[in-house]
Copies of this chain bind each other. A is one copy, B any other.
Amino acid sequence: MVTLSDVAKQANVSKMTVSRVINHPEQVTTELRELVVAAMQELNYQPNAAAKALANNRSNVVKFLILEDIDTTEPYYMNLLFGIARGLDKRQYALQLITDRQKLTAGNADGYLITGARTSDFPWLDQLEKPLVLFGENRYGYDFIDTDNKLGTQMATKYALAKNYQSIIFIGIDVKEPFEYSREAGYINTLQQHAKLPRIYRLANHSRLSQQYIEEHWREFAPNTCFICASDRLAVGVVRGILHEGGAIPRDFGVIGHDGVFLDQVSNPQLTTVQQQVPELGEHLARMLLSKIAQSGAQQGELLLAPKLVTRGTTRE
């Protein structure tokens, strides 16, 4: 294994000069810096993360806690995880996946990424001693990153209006969480701007339930209606319900989902959906946490990433 000392010898300088070239290059003269850089390349020097971590009183590990039930976690998290991994990689950070909150404080970590946190979790979040970034909106001042949920449903609703669907109905998820409020708000705002009355139904997030709902209330839905759904799961059920009742998609009925991960593509027809930029969200999560760690816990604020409206088979051309 090539160490700092090896590089130092090769470049005829002290270990410290090599260390400075890596961490504070501006403190080193250009000639020495170039000598050292050349030596590092020649020897293919790979810094030892453990030694660095020990000297810095760090662990170079970040924990990712998923509070939602795994069985229900759709493919979504896979993409998020890859984004996080990409963000951590650049700084040689590794990841620990946690599903049991008890294990969060066991072992070492420099900070925490937490998803699925609800209001009831905030008390124990406050007890944590390491920097923390949430994935998902909250209104209590925790740093977070999320999709711009409001913008997403605004885009979807505007699109449905532009495609001349007369009646626009929102199928929401029956939870009292900020992401759902934001999605509903985007829908309501846009309708109001067009002097239309909102119609919102809320269901647990299962395709079976939304399918059943559509079938049972079929007579209430006139042709020329578009359903804006708070998830692709709900959207898939709505599509099935409409097809089961003999409705024509996309001619008489439009359906727009939300999330845009996997399910939208395997469904038939493929869903028009508000696609979250999941890997990018993950990468920003990692970046925000690392910079919070570097700034010894300083507040980072919030970051909303714009989603993309992907138009496919469940809305008019």
Task: List chain A positions with a Cβ less than 8 A from chain B.
Answer: 1, 46, 48-51, 53-54, 57-61, 70, 73-75, 77-79, 81-82, 85, 88-89, 92, 94-99, 103, 106-108, 207, 211, 233, 236, 240, 262-263, 266, 268
Contacts and interface: CB of A to CB of B under 8 A. Distances in A.
A209 to B, nearest CB: 13
A89 B94 CA distance: 13
Closest 3 CB pairs of A and B: A85-B97, A94-B94, A50-B53
Given A70-B82, A89-B96, A108 B50 contact: yes
B262 A74 contact: yes
Contacts of A85: 96-98
A78 to B, nearest CB: 4
Contact of A51 (B54, B70, B106, B207): B54
B82 A78 contact: no
A49 B70 contact: no
6 contacts: A1-B57, A48-B54, A49-B61, A70-B78, A81-B97, A82-B97
A106 B48 CA distance: 11
Contact of A59 (B49, B73, B75, B263): B49
- When all copies of this chain in the complex are counted, the total is 2
A77 B78 contact: yes
A41 to B, nearest CB: 13
Which residue, of A1, A50, A97, A207, has the highest number of chain B Cβ atoms within 10 A? A50
Given A103-B89, A263-B266, A50 B60 contact: yes
Contact of A50 (B58, B103, B211): B58
A58 B94 CA distance: 14
B70 A108 contact: no
A263 B78 CA distance: 15
A97 B77 CA distance: 13
Nearest to A109: B94
Given A50-B108, A59-B49, A108-B50, A81 B79 contact: no
Contacts of A107: 46, 49, 89, 92
Contact of A266 (B95, B106, B236): B236
A82 B96 CA distance: 10
A79 B70 contact: yes
A76 B133 CA distance: 27
